[in-house]
Amino acid sequence: MKLKLIFSYDGSAFLGSATQPHGKSVQDALQKALAHLGIFSKILMASRTDKGVHASFMVACVECGDHFKDLIYLKNQLNKFSHPYIHIKHLKFMPSDFEVRFDVKSREYRYIFYHGNFNPFVSRYVHFYPKIDINKANEILKYFFGEHDFKYFCKSGSDVKSTVRKVFKSHAYSYKNMTIFHFRANGFLRGQIRLIVASVLKVLEGKMTKEQLIEQLKTIKKYNHFLAPPNGLYLSKITY
């Protein structure tokens, strides 16, 4: 039977989401939790996140025996072995033809800036940054809306057939003492959001012009190579 897991995790506790030889990834930790309950099939995840990036809504699938009837009990048992850095929110049996990665219609991310005094107890979960002009930020973020070739907004070595992605939402809003950048697209490349965020900040800081940003978006010339810190980034929704 195909079991879908919806879960969240603290990315600061892992060296990325996808399984790695050192075994210190989200997938490895979740695989170990499932193994405690006799589920040994390989987990397939809907998306990948870099080291230090968090998820409030990640989806994965795994094959399990048909004797697992009580999903509430199974969820509670899984959380005993996956806490404190991974939390299973919901379990659901899916049709055999469900594709956890290829059936995805959109993915959403949020990047959180905190404008208060530095606090070491939350430094892994927000990017401390001076107050942002929301109107100016949205003027810049609107350039990313629509379909573009993001070849100059992804990490080198990305193993993809196409670097074209369609962005459905790209805007900033305020919440309490924070500014949040919200992105939704049909898919994202490795490092894409962190490169976009860093480029927007460079324009706001006067270190890069809007014209240069547009040139980079049109793959004419790359002006920014730096990524925003991973700790402010959250995978927040996956839609099927």
CA distance 9 to 87: 6
Q: Output the pTM of the full model.
A: 0.95
Q: Report domain extents, the chain.
A: 2-94, 106-239
Tens digit of pLDDT for each residue in 172-205? Answer: 999 999 999 999 999 999 999 999 999 999 999 9
Catalytic residue positions? 50
Contacts of 27 (CB under 8 A, 6+ apart): 17, 18, 19, 43, 45, 60
Does residue 158 have a pLDDT over 70? no
CATH number of 106-239: 3.30.70.660
CA distance 202 to 74: 47
CA distance 149 to 119: 38
* Pair of tokens at residue 194: 């962190």
Q: Which residue, 103, 99, 72, 86, is CA-closest to 28? A: 86
127-128 and 106-114 as β-strands: parallel, antiparallel, unpaired?
parallel
* Pair of tokens at residue 2: 């195909």
The CATH label, of 3.30.70.580, 3.40.50.300, 1.10.287.470, 3.40.30.10, for the domain at 2-94 is 3.30.70.580
Tens digit of pLDDT for each residue in 26-35? Answer: 999 999 999 9
Distances, alpha carbon 155 to alpha carbons 14, 158, 159, in Å: 20, 6, 10
